[in-house]
Structure 1
Amino acid sequence: MANEPWLEADQTEGAQARRADLLKGLRQVQYWIDEALAQVPDETALWWEPAAGVPSIGARLQHILGASRRLAAYALAADPDPESLAAAARSDWTPQMLPKASLAQEVRDFFAELIHRLEALPEEAMDELRPLGRKRLPVRRWTILHHLVEHAAYHSGQLILLVRLYTHHVG
């Protein structure tokens, strides 16, 4: 098993360190997701719901992907449409019953593209105000991206717990 990304030595200082921390956070989330999914044996486990009202591993992964896409759109898109982004949010938790490999690859592809876009973003752009949500509140790009990492990390922890619950449920 490779080291967790947060354990990698820091190579930057000053303003560049802020971006490096953000990128490290995204890589850490991907690491947690990959580690959790490696323990999910099949689609039955992926879509298992431990109790009424408790979304499955797959639905939670869909939400991580959907919410991360929306937050990335607010942070990076030229003119994000809050109405269409809000409409997309309504389907996050509805199980799509995708194969594990497809859903995992979709998440990996999204995070890889996001990391690539952030690496190319000029440093001064990180502090630009961006319109967020239906109220179009002015929020710094950095803050939106930081929340994206926090939100994805929060739900990644839930993935890890659900995998453990499933393992004990069938074990």
Structure 2
Amino acid sequence: MASSVPEYWLRGPVDGIPALLQPAAHALLQTRLEARMYTKDFDESLLWEMPHGRANVGFHLQHIAGVIDRMLTYADQKSLSEIQFEYLKQEGKPNQDIQLEDLLFHLETKIDEALLYFKGIEIQKLTDYRSVGRKEMPSTLLGVLFHAAEHSQRHVGQLLVTVSAFKN
């Protein structure tokens, strides 16, 4: 699955994104690229299968989008909505009405939302306090935005492993 195109962090700055958020933007763009690349030619009948008891491909794609959505909510200093809690409960649950392309499109939409959010950031606010979750765990605006990016990369790596497990 090697590509002749460099990874996003080696392609220069993303237009309109503040310098301090470039690494997060690069990670999200890399996630978009790799999610498509790793699921190209994937047998969609295996979308909800759990190889070796591990999370399914559907879960990883839903979870990445969900984490991005939730972190943007915390970035805005809001609590999660009932719709977000319901989405969280449904992540990875087999649903034959959901196709691979639906999951990829939703993920790409959430990445686009995050990048647009990054463009509107006032950099002097990046160290402002943000609480996370019902327990209101302490973080910062930069912390929640970075978590959206690094967590997406973690799960896209797991997505690769899951997809690869079906090829053996």
Both proteins in one fold, TM over 0.5: yes
Q: What is the CA–CA distance in structure 2 between the aligned matches of 1:126 and 1:58, rounded to whole Å? A: 32
The answer to whether the 8 Å contact 1:5/1:31 transfers is no
Q: Equivalents in 1 of 2:80, 2:48: separation in Å?
A: 31
Task: Measure, in 1, the Cα distance between the counterparts of 2:95 and 2:55.
Answer: 12
Name 1:95's counterpart in structure 2: 94
**Per the alignment, in what secondary structure is the counterpart of residue 151 of structure 1?**
helix
Aligned residue pair count: 162
Aligned partner of 2:20 in structure 1 is 18
Equivalent residue number for residue 152 of structure 2: 152
CA distance in 2, matches of 1:37, 1:29: 12
CA RMSD of aligned residues (A): 2.3
- Tell me, yes or no, if the aligned pair for 2:24 and 2:145 is still in contact at 8 Å: yes
Instruction: Specify the SS of the correspondent of 2:138.
Output: strand
Distance 2:79 2:34 in 1: 29
Contact 1:59 1:96 survives alignment (8 Å): no
Higher helix share: 1
- C-alpha change, 1:39 and 1:57, in structure 2 (3 Å) is same
1:55 is aligned to 2:55: yes
1:63-78 pair list within 5 angstroms = 63-76=63-76, 78=77
Superposition pairs for residues 1-171 of structure 1, below 5 Å? 1=3, 2-10=5-13, 16-40=18-42, 42-51=43-52, 53-76=53-76, 78-81=77-80, 85-86=84-85, 88-97=87-96, 98-168=98-168
User: What is the SS of the residue equivalent to 1:149?
Assistant: helix
1:8-41 Cα distance to aligned partner (Å, 9 max, x none):
13589xxx4321112111111112111112141x
SS in 2 for 1:3: coil
Instruction: Give the TM-score, by structure 1 length.
Output: 0.82
Q: Structure 2: where are the runs of 5+ without partners?
A: none
Distance 1:88 1:99, change over 3 A: closer
User: C-alpha displacement at 1:140, in angstroms?
Assistant: 0.5
Deviation at 1:96, TM superposition (A): 2.8
Counterpart residue identity of residue 56, structure 1? N
Tell me how far apart the structure 2 counterparts of residues 144 and 116 of structure 1 sit (CA, whole Å).
Answer: 15
Note the alpha carbon deviations across 1:92-143, whole angstroms, 9 max, x for none. Answer: 2322331111111111111011111111211122221112111223311101
- For residues 60-93 of structure 1, give each alpha carbon's deviation from its aligned partner in whole angstroms, at most 9, with x where no partner exists: 21122222211221113x4223777555422223
- SS of equivalent residue, structure 1 residue 96: coil
Identity of aligned residues (%): 24
